[in-house]
Amino acid sequence: MAPAFTEHTSEPAVYTTDVLVVGSGPVGATYARKLVDAGIEVLMVEIGSQENPIPGEHKKNAIAYQKDLNSFSSAVNAELNLLSVPTTPNVFPTTEPISFSSKGTIHNGQNPRQDAFFNIPAAGASRTVGGMGAHWTCCTPEEHPKIERSNLFSNDEWESLYAEARSLIGTTREAFEISIRQQLVKRTLQKAWSHTGREFLPMPLAVKRSKINFDYLTWGSPATVFGNITRTVDRPGAPNFTLLPEHRCTRIEFDTYSNEINGVLGRNLRTNKDVLFKAKKYVICAGSVLTPGILYNSGLQPKLPALGRYLSEQIMTFCQIILKKSLIDEVPRDPYGLGWDKIAAEHHKKHPSDPLPFPFNDPDPQVTSPVSEKFQWHTQIHRDAFTYGQIPPDIDQRTVVDLRFYCKTDPHHDNYVEFTNDIKDTFGMPQPTFHFQIKDYEAKRAHEMMLDMQRVAGDLGGYVPGQSPHYLPPGSALHITGTTRAGTSEHDSVCNKNGKVWGTNDLYVGGNGVIPTGTACNPTLTSMCFAIVGANTIIAELGKDAKK
């Protein structure tokens, strides 16, 4: 059944439900799916619009982007809103003297409090149904048990949680193993590094290749996690799930005396009218920066000294290479006995003017070298579209490989995001300001990663002009963690391992911000593990018949 709705002329419209979930990304979707499957009524609110008829669908599932991956970069760029832009003087030498100029404005994320030296300039939020999950890379590795993973759960518990998370999002290592370039890149690196024992493996990806159309991929997204609980043109959805897009979560309202939650005040951004959401449990999954902003706006900062603190973000290096001619020339000779000779011959027969032996529909490579004790960084040796790294149209994309290497920064109390009420962001919420600095030992680790990336790149080819190895601006990974970290004490964490916020009975947080450790790999699967635990806790507390 749909959540009860009551409208008053002079007061906010009221929605009542069992569980309110704020945010529709992969973590919010995990909470919703498990709760709905358990018979619990869920109302999900999302500040962004529903841009796809399938709620939370990955935008890269569109045929146009699969035909031209390079064009997807502009779609990703359009989705991201920068979170804190240092204010600069609005003065240009060629501006007419009669024109307005100032020391800076505070509109559209501009922030006069932001010190550029301590900023995370590429940190962004994606406000759309599906959140970052509508355009993410779908890479779903697991944290290294010694280098990245927290000890809040036992190894057996982690293994079970990761297995469930993989099932929900659809992780596989098989979808690209049919690719000649995949095998060429993987085997070239395995051979080059065989003396070190280093692994080069198919990248774990949330993706499914069509059995009907070999060329078509369904990329994993919140829509994958939702399953059939959402309503589309082809299905009614679950009767105990409702999604409200374009609704802002403004603040949590607490009773002054009992500290119980009276509800969550929100706003319908279409009508610009306040609404009140009343539930038995509340789950805030609005992202690593916006979630602590909601808690700050709810007056919880004095009670949660770790709120926004222990912020970690990965250091990221990037380059693009064009495969060596000698490697490409190996393909017709089929050195590994994988049938490349027949495929190359058939391709040449159909397209005699094509100088490459790869079929036009040969899938892109997707290879990784996992985090290890000797190489403490996550690697993606592949092709994908981001806000950077577009390929010039005169370079054949079949010859290009991207290298994205990520190393962790550790959680430090003095790395944090703070909020202020006197300046609002574009959506009327407290403006975030970053205070982030890389420590000397972390910079050294990043330098070692850069040297490693250069060695790996050299095994494969030469650099695309303008894309030699370089560091990307902080925040480019979009993997901020720690801002609502889980732990065992309210002094250095925001919630317990179940996601329940300290000092509250019915408030939970989810997302990458809950991860308490520095992580080098993509954090989504780990965040889903925490969401699984949180959802199980709520199910146990409410029972299967929550409305009774």
Burial (0-12, 13-18, 19+ Cβ within 10 Å), 422: exposed
Round to whole Å and give the CA distance between 372 and 363: 28
Catalytic, out of 119, 144, 479, 512: 479
Neighbours of 370 (CB within 10 A): 19
Q: Report phi then psi at 445, rounded to 5.
A: -60, -40
Nearest to 415 by CA among 129, 24, 118, 12: 118
Round to whole Å and give the CA distance between 339 and 359: 13
Cβ-Cβ contacts under 8 Å for 108 (sequence gap 6 or more) = 85, 426
Q: With beta carbons less than 8 A apart as the criterion, state whether 111 and 86 touch.
A: yes
The secondary structure of 172-223 as a DSSP string is: ES-TTTT-HHHHHHHHHHHHHTGGGT---EEPPEEEEE-SS-TT-EEE--HH
Q: In three state form, how does the secondary structure of 369-388 look?
A: CCCCCCCCCEEEEECCCCCC
Distance of CA 159 to the CA centre of its chain: 21
Round to whole Å and give the CA distance between 399 and 23: 39
Nearest to 47 by CA among 78, 92, 81, 12: 81
What is the number of alpha carbons within 13 Å of residue 119 lying toward its C-beta? Answer: 22
Round to whole Å and give the CA distance between 276 and 179: 52
What's the CA dihedral at 185, 187, 192, 194 to 10 degrees? 140
Neighbours of 440 (CB within 10 A): 7
Nearest to 69 by CA among 472, 386, 535: 386
Would you mind telling me the total number of residues written for the chain in this entry? Answer: 548
Q: With beta carbons less than 8 A apart as the criterion, state whether 44 and 545 touch.
A: no
195 is catalytic: no
Round to whole Å and give the CA distance between 309 and 325: 49
AA letter at 509: V
| DSSP letter (8 states) at residue 364 | P
Q: Report phi then psi at 402, rounded to 5.
A: -90, 145
Cβ-Cβ contacts under 8 Å for 441 (sequence gap 6 or more) = none
Q: Report phi then psi at 287, rounded to 5.
A: 110, 165
Q: Report phi then psi at 357, rounded to 5.
A: -85, 0
90 is catalytic: no
Round to whole Å and give the CA distance between 510 and 28: 7
Nearest to 137 by CA among 368, 359, 341: 368
Which residues belong to the active site?
Answer: 479, 522
